[in-house]
Amino acid sequence: MTWSIQTLLSELHDDIQDRLARARKAFGHPGTKGDASESVWLELLETYLPQRYQATSAHVVDSDGKFSEQIDVVVFDRQYSPFIFNFQGQKVIPAESVYGVFEAKQSINAEHVAYARKKVASVRRLHRTSLPIPHAGGTYPAKPLQHIIGGLLTLESDWSPGLGEPLTNALATVGSDDRLDLGCVAAHGIFSCDNDGCGTLTPIGKPATAFLFELIARLQEKATVPMIDVRAYARWLDVDLPV
């Protein structure tokens, strides 16, 4: 047998695209289609991201007691996260542990871009703590809070061409709270935005694999999440519950 890395990477994308397409065809209810698509993206990240990361559907909470909206895909730190809540089948993750958040849809369009931006902003606006880090020789300064990656994951595009000016216009933003940094339209390509604007579109042959690699590269650049102030959350233990 002759091994080929090109074949391996190509098969990874083809598998994701095929599974997204099957979910789109097999389920009639929009909510069921959405859940199936979400599961495909979550399984991709859970399988191929390094073990220090985990991906799940969840709400995000901060030490002020504020919650994000429900997020389809939360990429968070599992190695240093001191607690992840599981309540009535729902996961709740502390804001300090989050690296990235993504909305998963069947198709990309202006409505879904706006919806994803709203979801991403609900996480970025949460308060995050960061403590100095003790070590054998003393203490490192508290790590500056890093930008949380936000994005949108779909199979198809409602625009023609799939990655063109309508998408660029929908992605354009004046602030950073609701910016979509990275996304994948599995049938067409990936897109990315930075501080200079949202005009970078990358039509390529195997978008799902390219998205995975680009996400891993961005996570590597961020290194480790800040050291969470657990006592800031513990103070809620002294607050009376509503009757």
* Catalytic residue annotation: 72, 103, 105
**93 within 8 A of 74, measured Cβ to Cβ:** yes
Looking at the chain, the number of H-run helices and the number of E-run strands are 6, 13
User: Residue 123 CA to chain centroid, in angstroms?
Assistant: 11
Go through the chain and tell me how many residues it has: 243
| Buried/exposed code over 139-153 (b: 16+ C-beta within 10 A; e: otherwise) | eeeebeebebbbbbb
- Provide the pairing of β-strand 85-87 with 107-108: unpaired
**115 within 8 A of 50, measured Cβ to Cβ:** no
Angle at alpha carbon of residue 178, lines to 148 and 20, rounded to 5°? 80
Positive/negative CA dihedral, 121, 176, 13, 168: positive
Cβ burial of 220 (10 Å; 0-12, 13-18, 19+) is exposed
